[in-house]
């Protein structure tokens, strides 16, 4: 009997591990006959935290899962989920298109929460970023305090609120943010801006370090991780040498791991699906085994996407160091044409931040990534820089971009189905594997999501395991996924029968509670006192050379 046949048999019989997890509380609630706001009938309910996997009914009340039971339930709205999986809403921690159309495509791919933890927003604008979305978002939303934007503010005088605006400033003549080594005063100001965002409730710090690999020193990177550690929050990095070789890629991630281990800090390895990924995965697994809250994400595509003027696409890196040829690896996202070194130079003069696709990994590596049980799927969905796009713009009329923004979740499920990857593993990669580590940082919103359990927030994705598929391609990157007929956000149906409902905006902020700032400026003298051997008088007037170490003292920036 094939694995798919076994899976279908277990699905039909409801005989799977964790069946006993339907507790007495669920039965008691069902027996009250009190109507639920929403009832999901006869779906295969899957909870990656407990391993629960059984055909059951789900009752939703006041935005939460109030019952999971085999008993009949009554409710105001009923969804027949027969033949479908009822899963925790998918969570995307790396999403750069926080606009209505970007959210719409994410919902059709089964996502109930999108966060930009690699970039995010300027620390001083965290309140504004969340306020813009209050009561108007169809999907849950969250952001990081952005390292890149703190540098653009301090070093270039540019104020930027999110990734679409960042693409524009990356095309400007000002590039101090990516190349300048700040002095101590400016370094302190960069750190202060980052701290302001954390104090305002940002989920963590996001850093596009690979775009400023020569501008940000090792000390600066350590210090931004130290600031996040003070709040118990993660730093999410595009690493210093991403993309790189199987040596440089891993070395760049080791910078983050070493800092995080020394500081006791959470950390996220952004899109480590590059050369050396197998070593990186082992490092993360071993660090977690030692109690460190460190995790990694990947997107299930062999090509990446970036701006044409990205520092790592310069000939001395892309061609000389990495050995790629432009005409085989760098493709214009809009026209599909392949660049040469000469045509890249010409386009850079006209449109330096033009969106491109960068082919850097073999297609067969994708299945290997999806076989890694402990990774999270995150799309790295790229924005479309066109102000004429509205919620109503037909998908086929959208300018092209990388398909990962529209199809990462459905592609994960489809490729899992086609390659014998356990469905529970894929569901965990899309939900629990992000919710769990973020919840461990104290982020309450993630302690109540990513699970199909009574009492949890009713973010729910319902999909057909036999037909769910991605439709977005490199040629048409913004076609919505199919096979995901219902998506429920905070107990409210937002995707109904495969259509996103207009004007239904139940999205909630994913955010920490604001608090007082913990910032202390760097001080060279204090570091010297803490880490150098200095004469100490231990009584009797006899100096004794002993190192004095105070972990609260902040070292200097350079």
pLDDT in tens, 248-277: 999 999 999 999 999 999 999 999 999 999
- Assess whether 108 and 193 both reside in one domain: yes
Pick from 51, 67, 83: which residue ends a domain? Answer: 83
- Assess whether 356 and 458 both reside in one domain: no
- Assess whether 259 and 169 both reside in one domain: yes
- Assess whether 295 and 198 both reside in one domain: yes
Cβ-Cβ contacts under 8 Å for 299 (sequence gap 6 or more): 94, 271, 273, 377, 378, 379, 380, 404, 408
- Assess whether 177 and 250 both reside in one domain: yes
Q: Is the pLDDT of residue 170 over 80?
A: no
Whether residue 524 is contained in a domain is answered as no
Contact 107, 500 (CB under 8 A): yes
- Assess whether 279 and 161 both reside in one domain: yes
DSSP state, 474? S
Whether residue 370 is contained in a domain is answered as yes
When pLDDT is cut at 50, 70 and 90, the band that residue 171 belongs to is low
What is the pTM for the complete model shown?
0.91
The pLDDT of residue 114 is: 98
Q: Is the pLDDT of residue 23 over 50?
A: no
Give, in degrees to the nearest 5, the angle at Cα 219 between 218 and 221: 65
Give, in degrees to the nearest 5, the angle at Cα 285 between 281 and 288: 140
Q: What CATH number does residue 425 fall under? A: 3.20.20.140
Lowest mean per-residue pLDDT among 56-60, 85-89, 321-325, 466-470: 321-325
- Assess whether 286 and 314 both reside in one domain: no
The pLDDT of residue 525 is: 83
- Mean pLDDT for 418-447 is 98
Lowest mean per-residue pLDDT among 23-27, 135-139, 378-382, 441-445: 23-27
- Assess whether 62 and 120 both reside in one domain: no
Whether residue 522 is contained in a domain is answered as no
Higher pLDDT residue, 415 or 535?
A: 415
- 3-class secondary-structure state, position 294: strand
Whether residue 247 is contained in a domain is answered as yes
- Mean pLDDT for 223-229 is 97
- Assess whether 326 and 178 both reside in one domain: no
The pLDDT of residue 530 is: 80
- 374/425 Cα distance (integer angstroms): 8
- Domain count across the chain: 3
The pLDDT of residue 174 is: 60
- 162/170 Cα distance (integer angstroms): 12
Whether residue 459 is contained in a domain is answered as yes
- 3-class secondary-structure state, position 414: helix
The pLDDT of residue 4 is: 40
Q: For residue 22, what are the domain limits?
A: 3-83
Contact 118, 270 (CB under 8 A): yes
When pLDDT is cut at 50, 70 and 90, the band that residue 387 belongs to is confident
Q: Is the pLDDT of residue 166 over 90?
A: no
Pick from 13, 48, 83: which residue ends a domain? Answer: 83
- Assess whether 191 and 251 both reside in one domain: yes
Whether residue 205 is contained in a domain is answered as yes
Mean of pLDDT over the chain? 90
- 412/115 Cα distance (integer angstroms): 19
- Mean pLDDT for 467-481 is 97
Instruction: Indicate the angle between helix axes 100-108 and 404-418, nearest 10 degrees.
Output: 10
Pick from 465, 500, 535: which residue ends a domain? Answer: 500
The pLDDT of residue 384 is: 86
When pLDDT is cut at 50, 70 and 90, the band that residue 366 belongs to is very high
pLDDT in tens, 516-546: 999 999 988 888 878 887 555 545 444 444 4
Whether residue 530 is contained in a domain is answered as no
- Assess whether 180 and 319 both reside in one domain: no
Q: What CATH number does residue 35 fall under? A: 2.30.40.10
Whether residue 551 is contained in a domain is answered as no
> Which tokens in the block code for residue 394?
């037909």
User: In whole angstroms, how far apart are CA 250 and each of 125, 255, 347?
Assistant: 33, 9, 32
Give, in degrees to the nearest 5, the angle at Cα 388 between 384 and 391: 80
- Assess whether 159 and 149 both reside in one domain: yes
- Mean pLDDT for 420-446 is 98
The pLDDT of residue 531 is: 83
Cβ-Cβ contacts under 8 Å for 173 (sequence gap 6 or more): none
Return the percentage of the chain with pLDDT > 90, whole number.
80
């Amino acid at each position: 009997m094939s694995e798919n046949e076994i899976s279908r048999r277990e699905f039909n019989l409801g005989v799977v591990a964790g069946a006993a997890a339907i507790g007495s509380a669920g039965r008691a609630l069902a027996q009250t006959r009190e109507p639920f706001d929403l009832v999901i009938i006869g779906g295969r309910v899957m909870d990656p935290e407990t391993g629960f996997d059984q055909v059951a009914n789900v009752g939703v009340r006041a935005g939460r899962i109030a019952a999971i039971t085999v008993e009949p339930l009554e409710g105001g709205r009923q969804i027949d989920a027969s033949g479908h999986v009822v899963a925790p809403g998918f969570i995307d921690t790396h999403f750069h298109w926080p606009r209505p159309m970007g959210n719409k495509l994410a919902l059709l791919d089964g996502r109930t929460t999108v966060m930009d933890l690699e970039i995010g927003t300027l620390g001083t604008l965290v309140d504004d970023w969340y306020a813009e979305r209050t009561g108007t978002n169809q999907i849950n939303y969250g952001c990081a305090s952005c390292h890149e934007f703190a540098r653009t503010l301090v070093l270039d005088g540019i104020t930027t609120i999110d990734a679409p605006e960042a693409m524009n400033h990356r095309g400007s003549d000002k590039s101090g943010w990516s190349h300048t080594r700040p002095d101590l005063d400016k370094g302190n100001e960069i750190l202060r801006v980052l701290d302001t965002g954390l104090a305002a409730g940002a989920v963590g710090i996001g850093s596009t370090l690979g775009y400023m690999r020569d501008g940000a020193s090792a000390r600066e990177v350590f210090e931004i991780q130290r600031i996040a550690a003070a709040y118990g929050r993660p730093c999410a990095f595009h690493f210093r040498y991403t993309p790189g070789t199987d040596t440089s890629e891993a070395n760049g991630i080791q910078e983050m791991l070493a800092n995080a281990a020394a500081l006791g800090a959470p950390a996220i390895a952004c899109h480590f699906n590059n050369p050396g990924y197998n070593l990186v995965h082992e490092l993360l697994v071993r660090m977690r085994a030692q109690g460190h809250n460190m995790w990694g994400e990947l997107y299930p595509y062999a090509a990446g996407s970036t701006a044409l003027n990205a520092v790592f696409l310069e000939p001395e890196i892309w061609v000389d160091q990495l050995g790629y040829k432009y005409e085989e690896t760098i493709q214009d996202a809009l026209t599909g044409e392949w660049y040469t070194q000469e045509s890249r130079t010409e386009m850079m003069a006209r449109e330096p931040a033009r969106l491109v696709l960068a082919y850097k990994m073999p297609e067969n590596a994708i299945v290997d990534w999806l076989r890694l049980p402990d990774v999270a799927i995150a799309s790295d969905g790229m924005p479309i820089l066109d102000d004429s796009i509205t919620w109503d713009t037909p998908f086929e009329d959208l300018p092209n971009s990388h398909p990962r923004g529209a199809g990462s979740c459905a592609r994960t499920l489809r490729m899992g189905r086609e390659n014998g990857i356990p469905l529970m593993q894929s569901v965990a990669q899309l939900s629990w594997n992000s919710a769990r580590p973020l919840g461990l940082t104290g982020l309450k919103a993630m302690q109540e999501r990513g699970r199909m359990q009574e009492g949890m927030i009713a973010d729910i994705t319902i999909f057909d395991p036999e037909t769910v598929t991605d439709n977005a391609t490199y040629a048409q990157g913004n076609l919505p996924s199919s096979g995901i007929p219902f998506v429920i956000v905070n107990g409210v149906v937002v995707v109904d029968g495969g259509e996103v409902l207009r004007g239904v905006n139940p999205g909630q902020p994913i955010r920490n509670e604001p608090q007082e700032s913990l910032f202390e400026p760097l001080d060279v003298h204090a570091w010297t006192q803490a880490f150098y051997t200095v004469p100490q008088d231990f009584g009797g007037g006899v100096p004794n050379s002993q190192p004095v170490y105070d972990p609260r003292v902040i070292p200097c920036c350079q």
